[in-house]
Structure 1
Amino acid sequence: MSVGTAVSVNVGAAEPAMGKDVRSTGILKKPVSAPVQVRAPGPKRTGLHSGVVGDHIGDTKNHGGDDQAVYAYAVEDYAWWAAELGRELPPGLFGENLTTAGLDLLGGVIGEKWEFGSGLVLQVTFGRIPCITFQNRMGEPRWVKRFAAANRTGAYLRVLTPGSLVPGDRITVAERPAHGLTLTEAFRIYMFDQSRLARLLDAPELSPALLAEVRERLG
């Protein structure tokens, strides 16, 4: 299985909102040098919101909760975007808690399990759907549509075994479901290909809310 590295662990404090009708945002994440505790945060609206202790989430309707407990983005995808945008993109800029190296997030499978040297175990649930806060953070025109179209979404993860995110830690993809539904395939179907929605039902590791939405859309 694949082995990667946690090159940066990033935590966001509460800052004034950036374009949404909420009071605050935690998108302005900064790298930390010490280990950060991670645990399942509970329900999106009523739980602890972020799975990362000390990390703020302002829009609790659309972000956080057990199925979006941790957000990861790969340095390899940052490099692609840096070439596209013609500027440096430091870890944490996209609002991710975990910046990885050595893991192919484009080919990551829904439900695959990441085991960390610290004992933490996370499970891939879906890609990131961009929002206006992200667009305003980037200062790039049409960023929401551009990010979605590129389908380099990063990975949301749920917490299977609590532990610590440790900068420099080893990440092992220890288990990968046989259904083979990747982050890129799932995101493309959900966003752009209504005709293939039933394919998403092959992955029970998707969030219950998303699976319920797919069943409703299928009628």
Structure 2
Amino acid sequence: MKITSRLKAVANLVGECKILADIGTDHCYIPIYLLKKGKTNNAIASDINEGPLQAAEETVKKNNLNEKVSIRLGNGLAPLKENDFIDVIVIAGMGGETIVNILENIPCHLTKCRYILQPMTDISLVRKWLDEKSYKITNEEIAKEVNRYYTVIEAQHQSNAPKLSEIETQFGPVLLKKKHPLLKEYIVKRRNKNIEVFSQIQKIECETLKRDKNRTLRREKDLLEEVLRWL
């Protein structure tokens, strides 16, 4: 089964597990890919909307995996029960704020799971939440599709998890440590976007708003250039 670079990066960080849960599964591509690769024994695919679940059911049926995949309707982690014995949870293809809202409601029986997160926006917000809640980022990956970059985070709860610095929160502790081959071009793109937005902000008439946005953009630019010098 062929999947996109983004989904493959997610699947690679899942690695091997016994029971996988894919939250916001859409077409159920990740569970099916991992089942076909023999990386997981069973999967739960859930979504808050019936439309994506119907698409998921069709994909599962087409691949003759009905006995291996449980399709469930529900919000966030609510469809996952204590007797499911899940070891890995994937939350991918959503905004960072949505992912954080889902993580805020982790039930006790899912705290020890390994989480694979792929935020489409607000990546630093997700890392900040993980840091504050003592989830250690154990691995990270970047995937590129055309001109867009996608970051994937693997995290697991650890009571003595090391705290993240500002730079690590922004750009990823593991990505920085291993100097990921796509990290430099991703940061260059962010820097160029920063310069473009800074230029647009100067047209704002409200001086207070302009001053606040300029301060934020200058700080981001300083961090971007500091990382680029190191890379």
For the criterion TM > 0.5, the same-fold answer is no
Q: Rg: which structure is higher? A: 2
Q: Larger relative contact order (C-alpha < 8 A, sep ≥ 6)?
A: 1
TM-score (norm 1): 0.26
